[in-house]
Structure 1
Amino acid sequence: MNHRILFVGLGNLGSLMLDLFLRIPGKHQFLVGGRQPDRLQPRVNLSLLSALQLGYTPEVGCRFLDLNNIEQVAETIAQFQPTIVVCAATRQRLGGAQHLPQSLAAQLARAPMGPRLPLHLSLVYKLMQAVKLSETKPLVLNAIYPDVIHPILQKVGLAPTTGVGDLANNVPAIKLALASYVNQPLEQVDVRLIMARAVSYRMSRASIKGLPFHITLLGNGEDITPQVDVDQVFKALLTTFRRTGGDTGLLMTAASAMAVFNGMVKDTHEILHAPGPCGLPGGYPVAVHAQGIDIALPRQIHMHKALLINQSGLRLDGIEGIEEDGTVVFTDEAMTLYRDMLGYECNRMPLSETEEWATELQERYLTLASLSQ
């Protein structure tokens, strides 16, 4: 089946994702939307021409698209009739604190991500409202803070199909480390990981001993976890298989997105890992196919336990809970940090106030950045 893919958000991450997606075999039709088509077109051309250089022949176009205009986006979706929508749109790119004083930027980098939620939720929420208004039913891949955003939007029936990245970014290194530990070929080992973003982010940077997660390690399809020193396997992520972070490191998230996208367009039913699948908090093993995503938990763990693990992980990111109407409650500890650093305090955020809080938080950043110049 040839797919029609609407792509929204061509920043650092989105550009890498588009580069890879255009190299999936097939006569797929891509439409990339953004508010500045004149600036968008040259970057889209780069992705297209590099794909052609490698022998792929996708069809790619650009169109004006403003996520702040939900009706206009809905009309575009209704006209284009995408089978898959890909979102990498956010109001704060990775490294968005780079213009702040160095000490403050360093503090923010170590702080829980949860209080910055409005900046990431705002555009995804608008996109999903537009998808609903268009009366189409595409699969939606979202690369922006999915393990928190998706369970919020699930409360109002607007959750994307799945997220990409996060825990999935650590799986290749774990598999390499496991293969080395048990002295088996890479193809004979596998991993089943349950973990929220706050834990997976730390995993490639420091020890996660004592933090909430579950891992099942497989050798030739059998559970070999009791025979493995898991701490030693994890240690390899900080040493032998340590990888570059920052903007360059976004390649891992783009590769994760490509794997999920490939599973959908080729209907592979492959077991991968994804954050926020089916509107759930945190990250899980999933089976990917043409109709979307199925949760693929290891036999040793039930969904109730997996949810408890990931809800605990969300609290580490500053998310105390998500109420039935989508209102987010932030932890006191996380919000105290942001009050002290930015003068910003939002203890509870109803979904309807997302834009208001995003604007205030953005203004706090801009004010502090101007003072540092």
Structure 2
Amino acid sequence: MEKVLMVGTGDVGAHLLEFMAREDYPFEVIVADIDEEKARLLCNNAMIGAAHHGKDPHFRPVKIDLFDVEGTTELIRKEKPSAVINLTVMHTWHLIRQLPEDVYAKISSAALGAWLPCQLTLAMKLGQALKESGVKAHYINTSLSCLTNPVLGKIGLAPTIGIGNVDLIAPAVRTYIAQQTGVPRASVETYQVCHHQHWVYPR
């Protein structure tokens, strides 16, 4: 059975786990997080939910510390996954909103540049471990990939692919247009550019 190593069980990771639990493709998902108990609970929830749909996913929670590149390398060598999915960041994107308003405004004035260190660090560590393992796996990076993937590419750790935020907005835009015009949502098609323009300073 093919294996997928999914690293990170935050907001995006938890959602992806639920989607993967309902896939028909027979693969084992190794769900890795620094908090193994959290990973175990999310695996259980996803498997229970999938059972309602007649699905029987194969999930296995494990502990991982991406700052331990050697340990991560050994895990990848041992498991030999076909794909490695990075869903990690140093802290969640909305944490900055807890800062005092003047500090928040100053940091946000740097736009996406202010986010590069917290988005890049763990993706880079995982990429290093994958490269050092010698395992030929697809590397999927979800951590602000429109910004981090070019940097990873410059240092020889280019992911196979990333994900962006534009398609997260598309369903809301299509729903709004359908509601305002009475046109069926399935008939509404959008073309969007300027990823993260909705998100960066000023907000």
- Distance (whole Å) between structure 2 residues aligned to residue 126 and residue 174 of structure 1: 36
- Distance (whole Å) between structure 2 residues aligned to residue 180 and residue 88 of structure 1: 33
Fraction of identical pairs, as percent: 24
Q: Secondary structure at the match of 2:61?
A: strand
Structure 1 residue 201 and structure 2 residue 191: aligned?
no
Q: 1:46 to 1:108 in 2, by over 3 A?
A: farther
Aligned position for 1:54:
53
Q: Does the 8 A contact of 1:97 with 1:105 survive in 2?
A: no
Deviates more, 1:42-51 or 1:144-153: 42-51
Deviates more, 1:179-188 or 1:126-135: 179-188
Per the TM alignment, residue 182 of structure 1 is displaced from its structure 2 partner at its CA by 8.1
Instruction: State the one-letter code of the partner of 1:150.
Output: N
Q: Secondary structure at the match of 1:95?
A: helix
Aligned position for 2:114:
115
- Distance (whole Å) between structure 2 residues aligned to residue 52 and residue 6 of structure 1: 22
1:1-373 aligned at under 5 Å gives the runs: 3-97=2-96, 99-101=98-100, 103-104=101-102, 107=105, 110-111=108-109, 112-176=111-175, 185-197=184-196, 199-201=197-199
Q: Secondary structure at the match of 2:192?
A: strand
Q: Does the 8 A contact of 2:146 with 2:164 survive in 1?
A: no
Q: 1:47 to 1:90 in 2, by over 3 A?
A: same
Per the TM alignment, residue 135 of structure 1 is displaced from its structure 2 partner at its CA by 1.4
Per the TM alignment, residue 172 of structure 1 is displaced from its structure 2 partner at its CA by 2.2
- Distance (whole Å) between structure 1 residues aligned to residue 95 and residue 75 of structure 2: 29
Gaps of 5+ in 2: none
Listed one character per residue, the Cα deviations across residues 183-225 of structure 1 (whole Å, up to 9, x for unaligned) are 765444533433332x1436xx98xxxxxxxxxxxxxxxxxxx
Question: How big is the alpha-carbon RMSD for the aligned residues of Structure 1 and Structure 2?
Answer: 2.7
Which entry has the higher C-alpha Rg, 1 or 2? Answer: 1
- Distance (whole Å) between structure 2 residues aligned to residue 6 and residue 35 of structure 1: 14
- Distance (whole Å) between structure 2 residues aligned to residue 98 and residue 186 of structure 1: 33
Q: Does the 8 A contact of 1:97 with 1:108 survive in 2?
A: no
Q: Does the 8 A contact of 2:3 with 2:27 survive in 1?
A: yes
How many aligned positions are there? 201
Q: Does the 8 A contact of 1:170 with 1:200 survive in 2?
A: no
- Distance (whole Å) between structure 2 residues aligned to residue 78 and residue 201 of structure 1: 38
